[in-house]
Structures are given as C-alpha cells and as structure tokens.
Amino acid sequence: MSEVELLLVNPDFQAIMRFVEHILSNGALERYFRREGKMNDSVVALPVLKSKLRLYCLRLTDRILILGNGDVKNSRTYEEDDALQGYVIDLQKFESLLKQEVSLGNVEITEKEILTDKTFKI
C-alpha cells in the first residue's frame, strides 16, 4: 500500500475527516477543537479525542477555519517536536500578518469571509 492508501484507512485520519465533515455542516464551533499555541492566538488542533494524529488550524470565527498542517504527535506537547512546532509557528505568523493587515485596513474579516486582494507570504 502507498502512504496515501495507508493514511486513508488510518482510524485517526478517518476521525479527523469526520470532524471536518461535521464542521462543514455545523460550523467551526469551539467545542470541536483542542486549544494549542499561545493564549493570544487562534491556533487549535483536531481532533479533540485521544489520537496521535494532529491537524493544526486557525479558528477565526464559527464560520472561518483555516486548515494548516499536521502530523503524528509522538511527544507530550507540540513544542517538543520540530515539525509540529513549525506548523504551529507558521499559523501564528500568518495570524499575526492577518491582524496587522486588518489594523491597516487592507483586510476585513466578517463572520463568514476574509475580504482582501492581498497575497501573504510567511
């Protein structure tokens, strides 16, 4: 089996996909996520259930969820794993840029949309 085929039958991956499908139907409600990152950012992780697989995201509103990256979590915290920490830092940097552009008037975030013509590089 290829890596993709193995991933598709992985129960942790299937659980994340069920969460994503549920979020698409019901919104990105706080209860679906595990808080990650720092107190002043919006970084969250899926799933909230016991699982070794993590998908890191930015939850901006109940209708705006930015999917980041993820991997198998083999450490107690994401800070103990260089790859996982890198994924979280990328999301933190993106959120910081987004907030900066909102304050400059170049981006508007509504309950359902991020309105801008800007391209972000992190």
For residue 122, tell me if it sits in a domain. Answer: no
For residue 121, tell me if it sits in a domain. Answer: no
CA–CA–CA angle 95, 92, 53 (5° rounding): 120
Confidence of residue 65 (pLDDT cuts 50, 70, 90): very high
Separation CA 7–CA 79 (nearest Å):
24
The pTM of this model reads 0.86
Domain count, the chain: 1
Confidence of residue 8 (pLDDT cuts 50, 70, 90): low
For residue 16, tell me if it sits in a domain. Answer: yes
**Which domain range does residue 79 map to?**
3-115
Tens of pLDDT, residues 66-111: 999 999 888 988 999 999 999 999 999 999 999 999 999 999 999 9
